[in-house]
């Protein structure tokens, strides 16, 4: 058996007949359908049956999704494409059924508006046209929709110390916020406008840790079914740092923070964390350890409150050595000083510029001085006005001024001149030059004391600040003082200067410097008539001395016999008069020979011919034979001297006549020279 759509070849079902009965399962689209059947026997089809009309229902809906939104409810679901979905309100608090919806591509949707909140019993069918002005409906699908007042949603809050709460809700409703327990409201009630609401906390909360806030919305006596809870956590903000306040090499640091917060402070040059409590919303700290000057440091500060640590706040700073207060050490307070003054002090700072100030007239005094080192400093002042003065000092480095020094008062007066020659206790000759320093252009008077006698007057102080004058005084102890006049001012006499007038040092004429002398030597020279000259050779137990007066012709002479080891010795001559010795001594260095070699040949009265042979005895070394009357005339070259003696031949012919010769040698042991050994007279006959 086969079933067809009437008037078509579209087969909609087929089955085998069982006896005289048949049953064919067909699959048809919903709507008005006309069917015919045909049977096949032995492959021979029969004529089609009379048409029979059928109304095919669309399938019943199996699920409807209802989505409330305010006073509207949106319905959606799956259906038969081309069918019309119709929803009817069976029961509920009111509200019109939503418009019918056409199923497109297997989906449909429709929205009911202005529905009061409550529970609705609904019935949904889908239907198709029956092509006769009517509908073929599916079996109904019953379902329930609870259209309740919604909870607020998408609730957020800001993280500042006075947070603002916001979210979405039902337009026209009012949102209320409550603390835990519902006794207090942390923020004002807020209206929902355009589906949005916002409310700022009534007071500053500050750092907060998991503080619960419960939220509902209300409208016309209705309230949302659930409390929406948010746990508010607000981290502390970074503390602030004020500009550091200089305080030596460790500045004063301060800033703002949350009252009672624990403030954590670190520095770039250390790993140590310093902690202070921010009482009253401010913090302050000064590190006890100094910072290195002239480099950049960084301070980093956080605060801890409500179990949380804030972000960091940082600031750079540098420190400079404090510019110390200068100290004036000279002149002393209330001292008397001259017009040219060098002010000295301490507590200077290298690189600073130091300036003196005339404290009477509040003006700079002298040129500023740039200091090259720490500690002592000095400033030269020139041509100060006579009279009382007061000064102080201040130094500036990198535009940072120091505190002014303590003020020093002094009087500018004409100071006494200074005696430089003679120095205290010095010895000067009878005729000598006195000299010293004073005020340029001043006139100096030199006074001899006990009895008071003006020695020199009106000695002008030159442009170099020096004065001098020549005096001749008898031998003895003397006391001098000096004073000066300048520009109508007269100084006090200087302190007394004691010195001695002594004879001048004698002059030694013979022996000459580095002359070779023997045991017996005459020392002579020149000195002042009436003085006594003492001549001394050597020191200690070997010292030999002699004394002689100076003659009117200024000459003197003494003979010394030496019995001291040979070698280089100093001959010293000192002049004396009335118990005073000359300050300086005349000195000659001589080569003393005390060993006396023996001159044996030629013997006394011998007649000799050229070449003349000389011989004798001595100590090991080298010797030479010289003319008696002319030591520069050498008769022999160097002659070796041994333990057996010495001998040598004249290297040139001696002139005829009587002769004396001298032999002198260098002694190896001790590297000294000998005395002069003289030969006996001998004769050289004419050729």
Q: For 57-110, what is the HEC assignment? A: CCCCCCCCEEEEECCEEEEEEECCCCCEEEEEEEECCCCCCCCCEECECCEEEE
3-state secondary structure of 244: coil
User: Is 0.75 surpassed by the pTM of this model?
Assistant: no
The answer to whether residues 338 and 414 touch, using CB atoms and an 8 Å cutoff, is yes
The phi, psi pair for 669, rounded to 5°, reads -70, 120
Residue 537: its pLDDT value, please?
Answer: 79
Tell me how crowded residue 301 is: count the other CB atoms within 10 A of its CB.
24
**Model confidence over 82-101: pLDDT tens digits?**
999 999 999 998 889 999 99
The phi, psi pair for 78, rounded to 5°, reads -100, 145
Q: Which two tokens stand for residue 469?
A: 């004058």
Residue 543: its pLDDT value, please?
Answer: 63
3-state secondary structure of 361: coil
Q: How far apart are CA 668 and CA 638, in angstroms?
A: 14
Task: Give the DSSP letter string of 406-474.
Answer: PPEEEEE--PPPEEEESPTT-EEESEEEEEEE--TT-EEEEEETTTTEEEEEEEEP-TTSEEEEEEE--
The overall longest dimension of the chain from CA atoms, in Å, is 208
Residue 145: its pLDDT value, please?
Answer: 93
Q: Which helix (H) or strand (E) holds 31?
A: strand 31-38
Residue 58: its pLDDT value, please?
Answer: 95
Residue 538: its pLDDT value, please?
Answer: 65
Q: How far apart are CA 80 and CA 64, in angstroms?
A: 14
Residue 285: its pLDDT value, please?
Answer: 97
Plot region of 387 (φ>0 → left; ψ -120 to 50 → alpha; else → beta): left
Q: How far apart are CA 131 and CA 53, in angstroms?
A: 12
Q: How far apart are CA 356 and CA 363, in angstroms?
A: 9
Q: What is the DSSP-derived secondary structure letter of residue 642?
A: B
The answer to whether residues 110 and 67 touch, using CB atoms and an 8 Å cutoff, is no
Task: Give the DSSP letter string of 532-551.
Answer: EEEEEESSGGG-EEEEEEPP
Residue 500: its pLDDT value, please?
Answer: 94
**Model confidence over 100-128: pLDDT tens digits?**
999 999 999 999 998 888 889 999 999 99
Q: How far apart are CA 498 and CA 418, in angstroms?
A: 14
Beta-bridge mates of residue 659:
682
Residue with tokens 């449909």: 108
Q: What is the DSSP-derived secondary structure letter of residue 21?
A: B
CA angle 387, 389, 395 (to 5 degrees): 155
Residue 84: its pLDDT value, please?
Answer: 96
Residue 266: its pLDDT value, please?
Answer: 97
* Residue numbers of the chain with a pLDDT score lower than 50: none
All residues at 6 or more sequence positions from 553 whose CB lies less than 8 Å from its CB, including other chains: 529
Residue 658: its pLDDT value, please?
Answer: 87
Q: Which two tokens stand for residue 344?
A: 């000295």
């Amino acid at each position: 058996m086969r079933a067809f759509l009437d008037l078509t070849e579209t087969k909609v079902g087929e089955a085998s007949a069982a006896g005289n009965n048949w049953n064919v399962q067909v699959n048809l689209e919903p709507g008005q359908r006309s069917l015919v059947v045909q049977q096949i026997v032995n492959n021979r089809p029969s004529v089609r049956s009379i048409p029979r009309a059928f109304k095919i229902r669309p399938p019943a809906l199996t699920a409807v999704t209802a989505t409330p939104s305010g006073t509207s409810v949106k319905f959606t679901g799956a259906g038969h494409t081309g069918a019309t979905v119709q929803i009817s309100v069976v029961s509920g608090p009111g509200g019109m059924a939503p418009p019918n919806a056409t199923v497109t591509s297997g989906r449909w949707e429709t929205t009911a508006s202005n529905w009061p909140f409550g529970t609705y019993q609904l019935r949904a069918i889908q239907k198709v046209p029956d092509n006769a002005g009517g509908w073929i409906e599916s079996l109904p699908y019953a379902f329930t929709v609870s259209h309740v007042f919604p909870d607020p949603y998408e609730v957020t809050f800001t993280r500042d110390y006075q947070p603002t709460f916001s979210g979405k809700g039902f337009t026209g409703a009012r949102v209320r916020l409550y603390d835990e327990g519902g006794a207090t409201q942390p923020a004002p009630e807020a209206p929902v406008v355009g589906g949005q609401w916002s409310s700022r906390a009534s007071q500053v909360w500050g750092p907060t840790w998991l503080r619960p806030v419960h939220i509902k919305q209300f409208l016309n006596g209705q309230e949302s079914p659930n409390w929406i809870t948010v746990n508010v956590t607000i981290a502390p903000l970074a503390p602030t740092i004020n500009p550091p306040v200089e305080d030596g090499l460790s500045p004063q640091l301060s800033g703002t923070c949350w009252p009672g917060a624990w403030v954590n402070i670190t520095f770039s040059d250390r790993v140590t964390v310093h902690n202070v409590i921010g009482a009253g919303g401010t913090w302050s700290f000064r590190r006890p350890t100094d910072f290195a000057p002239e480099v950049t440091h960084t301070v980093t500060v956080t605060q801890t409150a409500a179990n949380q640590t804030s972000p960091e706040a940082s600031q750079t700073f540098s420190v400079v050595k404090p510019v110390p207060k200068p100290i004036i050490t000279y002149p002393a307070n209330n001292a008397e000083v001259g017009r040219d003054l060098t002010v000295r002090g301490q507590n200077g700072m290298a690189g600073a510029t130091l300036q003196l100030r005339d404290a009477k007239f509040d003006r700079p005094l002298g040129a500023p001085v740039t200091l090259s080192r720490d500690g002592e400093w000095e400033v030269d002042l020139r041509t100060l006005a006579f009279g009382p003065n007061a000064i102080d000092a201040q130094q500036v480095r990198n535009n940072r001024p120091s505190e002014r020094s303590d003020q020093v008062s002094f009087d500018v007066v004409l100071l006494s001149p200074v005696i430089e020659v003679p120095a205290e206790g010095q010895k000067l000759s009878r005729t000598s030059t006195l000299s010293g320093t004073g005020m340029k252009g001043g006139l100096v008077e030199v006074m001899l004391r006990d009895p008071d006698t003006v020695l020199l007057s009106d000695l002008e102080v030159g442009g170099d600040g020096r004065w001098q004058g020549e005096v001749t005084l008898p031998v003895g102890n003397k006391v001098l003082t000096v004073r000066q006049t300048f520009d109508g001012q007269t100084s006090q006499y200087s302190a007394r200067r004691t010195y001695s007038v002594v004879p001048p040092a004698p002059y030694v004429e013979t022996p000459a410097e580095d002359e070779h002398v023997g045991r017996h030597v005459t020392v002579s020279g020149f000195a002042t008539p009436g003085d006594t000259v003492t001549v001394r050779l050597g020191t200690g137990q070997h010292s030999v001395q002699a004394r002689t007066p100076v003659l009117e012709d200024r000459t003197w002479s003494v003979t010394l016999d030496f019995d001291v080891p040979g070698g280089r010795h100093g001959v010293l001559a000192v002049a004396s008069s009335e118990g005073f010795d000359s300050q300086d001594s005349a000195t000659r260095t001589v080569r003393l020979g005390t060993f006396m070699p023996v001159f044996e040949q030629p013997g006394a009265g011998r007649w000799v011919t050229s070449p003349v042979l000389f011989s004798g005895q001595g100590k090991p070394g080298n010797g030479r034979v010289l003319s008696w009357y002319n030591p520069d005339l050498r008769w022999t070259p160097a002659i070796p001297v041994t333990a057996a003696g010495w001998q040598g031949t004249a290297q040139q012919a001696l002139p005829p006549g009587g002769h004396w010769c001298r032999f002198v040698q260098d002694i190896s042991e001790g590297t000294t020279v000998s005395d002069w050994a003289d030969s006996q007279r001998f004769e050289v006959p004419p050729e």
